[in-house]
Amino acid sequence: MRITGYTDYSLRVLIYLSLQGDRLATIQEVADRYGISKNHLMKVVHQLTRKGYLDSVRGKKGGIRLRLSPSEINLGVLVREMEPDLNLVECFGPDNTCVISPVCSLKGVLGEALNAFLATLDRYTLADIVTEGDAPQLIRLLNIPVEESAAAE
């Protein structure tokens, strides 16, 4: 199973913002810290805001921050919401034209694997992947000034 870059960027934005506490961060700041496209992140942030994960404040002193606490953000739910299509193979979708579908057992095996993948993600929240022990290292790797980070509080 491979998640899309879109979902990967969604997770990265949430990780970054979880280290910020209530401080507003800009999309440009997040893009710069990860070395990724601001334009692509704008789409990701828009959807995360629309889905209730982020607050967005407009204006010169505006920015983005988590709307929910990290412990309220379930990774399985997030992946399901951000992934456009979890159909691993053609026969999962409505436009299946595979000629062996009526007798092929692969769909069941892959469905079981997908369910196991999602069940694992369902056991974790954003708080689980941004633990207190990892926060200082994440802050250092993302070059977040300590006075700006939530971990400094």
Low-confidence ranges of the chain (pLDDT < 70): 132, 146-153
Quick one: pLDDT at residue 152? Answer: 46
Strand partners of residue 54: 66
Q: Residue 48: which residues within 8 A CB-CB, separation 6 or more? A: 10, 13, 14, 54
Angle between helices 38-50 and 27-34 (to 10 degrees): 120
Q: Residue 59: left (phi > 0), alpha (psi -120 to 50), or beta?
A: left
CA distances from 76 to 44, 121, 123 (A): 17, 4, 8
Quick one: pLDDT at residue 88? Answer: 75
- Token pair 């997908």 is at which residue? 114
Quick one: pLDDT at residue 146? Answer: 62
**E strand map for 1-153:** 54-57, 63-66
Task: Determine contact, residues 33/144, Cβ cutoff 8 Å.
Answer: yes
Task: Determine contact, residues 121/79, Cβ cutoff 8 Å.
Answer: yes
Quick one: pLDDT at residue 136? Answer: 83
